[in-house]
């Protein structure tokens, strides 16, 4: 490769990866003498100024993130036509390669990796950054097994730019959330859904949704429920499977936040760790029949140890083992006969009873999709009913009928009551309250506090500015509410602020719509619009104030005068020539039109005069 140095500082050494939007190189930072990874944007995006602007803006925002589970961003710059991001160099492979090489992963390992990713997302979401493209390809695995999230910034830039490219979605269709598939609003819960898909893949080495084309896969994300991962791997603990089902819920309201996900995965990790600690080789009290024969002991311990074991023990001459006695033989014969009879009776009864019976399994506390699958696997039909329950998260089974452990005939209908969360209430207005007062009110209403974001505002620091859901929205008790609180006023800069100015565009003779677009495109606004009779094309601009090419501040208004067609004037009526006799009286009496055909009306007019 031809040696290249970006900005006189970053010396490219080798290409280590390539994606749809950029290429990644290992490089040497000459200034700080350390290895770095540099992502250079593909040439196809260099002419898209809107994309470039968002690329740099989001990358700079991601550079604020400092967390052990996030790849650090050191620098963002431009060298010639190359737009690049300088990142922490992690000498490792991606999670995708680990799954391909080892998958499915060990359950404890997969849980720990998912917890690392959730930890990184919690830090990002607290800083108002949504990754938008969580997938195994964007997770780097360090040599000590820690997971690090990469591709912040460019993922967000791609997502935003996508909205301007004919409505097509660019991204990882196998991992994005239903709201991303619909082109809807993206929130931190979208990252949680993607992490649920990643955990599903780590445990099963399968993707939850596949199809012939991206559109078919996207529709499955929107409409279909995934096959329960325990169908592919029965060893998956029910608690871990419930976490996956909840994270991959179609409704963002049901999904946990990334912080809640960390806590839930930590509980599973602790339980799995305790299981691993139960070493099968630890000292145990074995039943007598499980003690290995003396020959095996001799082979395992050596001749010196078994010499003492092999010494024959004196046996009583006249005593016989009990199992050789006639009493024991008679008892065994009786047991065999009874067992044989019971077996024949059971077989005969089974032939007579053609309907199979099953024991109702327990599905309380499980997600709807998982509960339905467990019951159907046990040859039972399912009826779903909904109920409000503030103590059970929405989407989980509250109770079942028949209850667990009941013996019923196969194909029996089992009704499961699924929680709709708490009772539906109107979201109160928390704006203007102190943060502590708002949290206290949420707790009294049975609502849970979600994320708390800060925003610069002239309001007192800690004052609630807004919240999600908004005031008046129907919300269930137990639902999560995110708060946006005031950080206080921004620090005033000492240096003089330079006013930004622009030139007024020349819109004379242009149509009104074209003129408005041109004015707003310069960062100005359209002011007063007046109309004036003109010979110009109706609707075109006759004049503008300020005049074209004038320098004004950004945000100033431009008044427009629009041409309109003159109103037609009535044609003047022809006036009869006055007679000579009336010439002398013309100055004293008003002229009366002569109407020979209606003499009576003329007389009436004369009287009126």
Catalytic residue positions, numbered: 133
Residues 6+ apart with CB under 8 A from 388: 419, 420, 421, 422, 423, 424, 476, 477
> Which among 451, 109, 78, 99 has a CA at the least distance from the CA of 260?
451
d(C-alpha 39, C-alpha 18), whole Å: 9
Helix (H) / strand (E) element for 403: namely: none
Other beta carbons within 10 angstroms of residue 402's beta carbon come to: 14
In the chain, DSSP finds a helix count (H) and a strand count (E) of 17, 24
> Which among 406, 414, 405, 410 has a CA at the least distance from the CA of 355?
410
332 contacts 323 by C-beta, under 8 angstroms: no
Residues 6+ apart with CB under 8 A from 317: none
> Which among 110, 119, 341 has a CA at the least distance from the CA of 237?
110
> Which among 247, 242, 246, 251 has a CA at the least distance from the CA of 222?
251
Longest pairwise C-alpha distance within the chain: 180
d(C-alpha 599, C-alpha 594), whole Å: 9
Strand order in the sheet with 480-488: 448-456, 480-488, 464-468
> Which among 19, 109, 7, 130 has a CA at the least distance from the CA of 65?
130
Helix (H) / strand (E) element for 182: namely: helix 178-182
> Which among 153, 171, 130, 159 has a CA at the least distance from the CA of 63?
153
d(C-alpha 12, C-alpha 508), whole Å: 53
107 contacts 114 by C-beta, under 8 angstroms: no
Residues 6+ apart with CB under 8 A from 140: 71, 90, 92, 93, 94, 95, 147, 148, 150
Helix (H, G, I), strand (E, B) or coil at 505: coil
d(C-alpha 118, C-alpha 140), whole Å: 14
């Amino acid at each position: 490769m031809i040696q290249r140095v970006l900005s006189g500082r970053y010396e490219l050494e080798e290409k280590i990866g390539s994606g749809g939007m950029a290429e990644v190189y290992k490089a040497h930072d000459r200034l700080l003498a350390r290895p770095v990874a540099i992502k250079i944007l593909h040439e196809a995006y260099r002419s898209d100024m809107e994309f470039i602007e968002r690329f740099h803006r989001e990358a700079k925002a991601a550079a604020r993130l400092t967390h052990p589970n996030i790849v650090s961003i050191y620098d963002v710059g431009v060298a010639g036509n190359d737009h690049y991001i300088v990142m922490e160099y992690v000498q490792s492979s991606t999670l995708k390669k680990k799954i391909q090489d080892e998958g499915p992963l060990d359950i404890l390992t997969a849980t720990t990796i998912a917890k690392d990713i959730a930890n990184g997302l919690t830090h990002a979401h607290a800083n108002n950054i949504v990754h938008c493209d969580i997938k195994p390809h964007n997770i780097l695995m360090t040599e000590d097994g820690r997971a690090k999230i990469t591709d912040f910034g460019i993922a967000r830039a791609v997502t935003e730019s996508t909205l301007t490219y004919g409505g097509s979605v660019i991204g990882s269709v196998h991992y994005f959330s239903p709201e991303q598939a619909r082109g809807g609003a993206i929130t931190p819960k979208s990252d949680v859904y993607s992490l649920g898909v990643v955990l599903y893949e780590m445990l099963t080495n399968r993707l939850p949704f596949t199809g012939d084309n991206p559109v078919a896969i996207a529709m499955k994300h929107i409409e279909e429920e995934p096959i329960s991962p325990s169908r592919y791997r029965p060893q998956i603990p029910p608690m871990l499977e419930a976490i996956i089902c909840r994270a991959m819920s179609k409704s963002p309201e049901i999904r946990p936040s990334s912080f809640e996900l960390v806590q839930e995965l930590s509980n599973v990790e602790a339980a799995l760790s305790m299981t691993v600690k139960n070493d099968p080789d630890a000292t145990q009290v074995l039943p007598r029949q499980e003690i290995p024969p003396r020959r095996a002991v001799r082979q395992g311990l050596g001749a010196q140890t078994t010499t003492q074991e092999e010494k024959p023990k004196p046996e009583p001459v006249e005593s016989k083992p009990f199992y050789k006695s006639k009493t024991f033989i008679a008892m065994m014969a009786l047991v065999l006969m009874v067992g044989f009879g019971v077996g024949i009776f059971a077989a005969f009864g089974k032939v007579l009873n053609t309907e199979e019976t099953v024991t109702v399994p327990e599905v309380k506390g499980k997600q709807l999709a998982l509960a339905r699958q467990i019951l159907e696997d046990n040859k039972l039909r399912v009826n779903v009913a909904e109920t409000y329950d503030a103590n059970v998260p929405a989407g989980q089974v509250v109770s079942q009928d028949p209850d667990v452990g009941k013996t019923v005939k196969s194909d029996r209908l089992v009704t499961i009551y699924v929680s709709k969360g708490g009772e539906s209430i109107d979201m109160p207005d928390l704006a203007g309250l102190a943060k502590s007062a708002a949290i206290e009110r949420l707790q009294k209403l049975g609502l849970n506090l979600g994320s708390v974001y800060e925003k610069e505002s002239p309001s007192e620091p800690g004052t609630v500015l807004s919240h999600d859901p908004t005031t008046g929205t129907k919300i269930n008790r137990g639902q999560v509410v995110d708060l946006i609180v005031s950080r206080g006023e921004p620090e005033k800069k000492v240096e003089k602020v330079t006013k930004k100015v622009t030139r007024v565009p020349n819109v004379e003779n242009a149509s009104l719509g074209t003129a408005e677009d041109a004015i707003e495109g310069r960062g100005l606004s359209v002011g007063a619009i007046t109309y004036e009779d003109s010979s110009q094309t109706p609707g075109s601009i006759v004049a503008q104030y300020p005049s074209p090419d004038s320098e004004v501040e950004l945000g100033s208004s431009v008044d427009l005068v629009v041409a309109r067609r003159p109103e037609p004037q009535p044609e003047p009526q022809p006036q009869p020539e006055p007679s000579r006799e009336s010439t002398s009286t013309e100055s004293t009496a008003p002229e009366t039109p002569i109407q020979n055909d209606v003499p009576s009306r003329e007389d009436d007019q004369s009287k009126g005069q």
